[in-house]
Chains A and B, each alone.
Chain A
Amino acid sequence: MSDDHTLDCNGVAGLLREVLAPDPTTTHRRCPDCGDTQPLGRHRAYRGAGVVLRCPSCDAVGAVIAEQASELVLHLRGALLVSRA
C-alpha cells in the first residue's frame, strides 16, 4: 500500500547507483553472523556451481553469485557500506 509520499525506485536511482555501482572490491560488507565489516576485496571467493564469497572473519557465506545463461543473480547477506569520501 502506498501513499502520496511514496516514491518508486526511479526517484532514488541516483542513490542506488551510488551504492550499487562503485568498485566492488572496495565496497565493505557487514557480516550478519559475526558483526565484522570487511572490504569485499578481502572476502575469499570459492568457485563452485556459482561463486561463493565468504566473510574473512568468520567464514560464513557473505554473497553468492549464480551465473545463469541470460542473467547474473547476486544473493547478498548482510549490509553493504559504500564510502562517500
Chain B
Amino acid sequence: MPPISRGFRGRRHADVDPARIPPGQYLTTDFPVLSAGPTPRTPLDRWTFSIDGEIDAVRRWTWDELLALPQETVIVDIHCVTKWSKLDTEWTGVSLDTLLDGVETEAEHIVAWCDGGYTTNLPLEDVMGGRAWIAHTYGGEPLAPEHGGPARLLVPHLYFWKSAKWVRGITLTIEDRPGFWEGYGYHDYGDPWREQRYWSD
C-alpha cells in the first residue's frame, strides 16, 4: 500500500452524477492534448474529406463544401483510455449520416485515415445513427490544431482514440483492419462502459 500524500486530492469534482463516469475514469475540467505524432498543418484550400473503399464512386468534399452541408451542434461526454473523462463538451460538425447518405456498400467496417498517417478502425454502424460527426468547431471556436483541427472524427460513445484527429477520410472495408493503436494492442472496439482498453479486455 503506497503512502498517502497528506492533503492530495487531485483534480476531482464531487458534484457530478457518478453514473456519467465510466469505470476506471477520473473527471477532468481541462482538455489534455494527446497524439501519436507531430501536429500536421494542412491549409484549408487543400483540405478535403473523402469516403472511399467499398463504394461505387469516391465521394469527396472540399472545406467549403463540408461547411455548406447541414451542421449539427452536440454536447457530449468524452472518455480517454488514459483515464480522463470530460463532460458536456460542445462540438459542431457534419453528421456521418449526412455524409453517408445514399451510400450503398457491402462494407461493415471503416478505417478513418488522417494527415500525419494516423488511422483507427470502427464498425460502420458505429458511425451511423447519430453517433458520429466530422467536427470542426469546439466550444464555439474553430477546432485548434493541437486538438485535431481543422477537423476531427468525433465518436463519443467509444474511447477517444477512435475520434481521429486531423481526419481526411474514411475507407469502407469488408474486413476489420486494425488502425494505429489497435495494431499496438489496444482494443478493437473500445467501449468505455465495458472498459475495453486493451485487446485482452
Q: Is the CB of A69 within 8 A of B35?
A: no
**Complex CA distance for A64 and B198, rounded to whole angstroms:** 14
* Interface footprint category on A: 10 to 19
Q: A66-B198, A68-B197 are in contact. Are A49 and B37 (CB under 8 A)?
A: no
Q: Is the CB of A48 within 8 A of B181?
A: yes
Please tell me if B82 contacts chain A, counting CB pairs below 8 Å.
yes
B40, chain A: closest CB distance, angstroms: 11
Q: Is the CB of A46 within 8 A of B37?
A: yes
Please tell me if B81 contacts chain A, counting CB pairs below 8 Å.
yes
Q: Is the CB of B186 within 8 A of A50?
A: yes
Q: Is the CB of B185 within 8 A of A52?
A: no
A29, chain B: closest CB distance, angstroms: 17
Tell me the B residues contacting A by CB distance below 8 Å: 34-38, 81-82, 159, 161, 181, 184-186, 197-198, 200
Q: Main SS of chain B's interface residues?
A: loop
CB contacts under 8 Å to B, within A11-68, are 44, 46-50, 52, 54, 59, 61, 64, 66, 68
Q: A49-B81, A49-B82 are in contact. Are A66 and B184 (CB under 8 A)?
A: yes
**Complex CA distance for A73 and B184, rounded to whole angstroms:** 9
- Residues in A with CB closer than 8 Å to B36 are 46, 48, 52, 61
**Which of A47, A59, A61, A68 is within 8 Å of B185, CB to CB?**
A68
Q: Is the CB of B181 within 8 A of A50?
A: yes
Tell me the A residues contacting B by CB distance below 8 Å: 44, 46-50, 52, 54, 59, 61, 64, 66, 68-69, 73, 75
Q: Most chain-B Cβ atoms within 10 A of its Cβ — which of A48, A52, A68?
A: A48
**Which of A46, A48, A59, A75 is within 8 Å of B161, CB to CB?**
A48
**Complex CA distance for A54 and B184, rounded to whole angstroms:** 15
Question: Which A-chain residue is minimally distant from B187 (CB atoms)?
Answer: A49
Give 6 nearest A-B pairs by CB, closest first.
A48-B36, A49-B181, A49-B161, A52-B36, A66-B185, A68-B198
A15, chain B: closest CB distance, angstroms: 27
- Residues in A with CB closer than 8 Å to B34 are 46-49
